[in-house]
Amino acid sequence: MADRFHVKPLVRFLQSAGRYHVLGLSRTEIKLFEGNRDGLDEIELGDGVPRTMSEALGGEVTEPRHTVASYGGVDVGHSPMHHGHGGKKSELEIDAERFFRAVDRAVLEQHSRPSGFPLILAALPEHHHLFHEVSHNPFLIKDSIEIYPGDQSSIKEVRQRSWQLMQHDDLDSS
Q: What is the pLDDT of residues 87-123, one digit of tens each?
A: 556 877 899 999 999 999 999 999 999 999 999 999 9
pLDDT the model gives residue 20? 96
| 115 CB burial (10 A radius; 0-12, 13-18, 19+) | middle
Q: What is the pLDDT of residues 29-42, one digit of tens each?
A: 999 999 998 899 99
The span from the CA of 78 to the CA of 71, in Å, is 7
Closest CA to 96 of 24, 25, 23, 149: 25
Closest CA to 137 of 125, 119, 152, 124: 119
CATH code given to domain 20-55+86-173 = 3.30.420.60
Q: Please state whether the predicted TM-score (pTM) of the whole model is above 0.75.
A: no
Domain ranges of the chain: 20-55+86-173
Q: Which residue has the higher pLDDT, 79 or 139?
A: 139
**Identity of the residue numbered 140:** L
